[in-house]
Amino acid sequence: MENKNDDDLMEYVPYTSDSRSFIAPTKYTLFTRLFIPWQLIKFAYYNIKMLKILSKGSGRFMDE
């Protein structure tokens, strides 16, 4: 919320253990995470994903 640009996202110190492998979201990623039209599509997609895993079943009759 307070991040204004990509440089503010993290403190990057070269040649430290942290800098050897890291991942942090870009400004574009942060924008899409809150962009409502895109998130509405994601909401539908998430529900499909959840239904997919629920369709794999939970409790089953032992003979199945």
Residues binding other proteins (CB under 8 A)? 1-3, 9-11, 21-25, 30, 32-34, 36, 39-40, 42-43, 45-47, 49-50, 52-54, 56-63
Output 15 or 23, the one with its CB closest to other proteins: 23
Q: Which of 44, 10, 15, 45 is nearest to 30 (CA)?
A: 10
Q: Which amino acid is located at 22 in the chain? A: F
Structure-block tokens of residue 60: 């089953």
Least separation in angstroms between residue 29's CB and other proteins is: 9
Least separation in angstroms between residue 5's CB and other proteins is: 13
Residue 6 C-beta-side C-alpha neighbours within 13 Å = 7
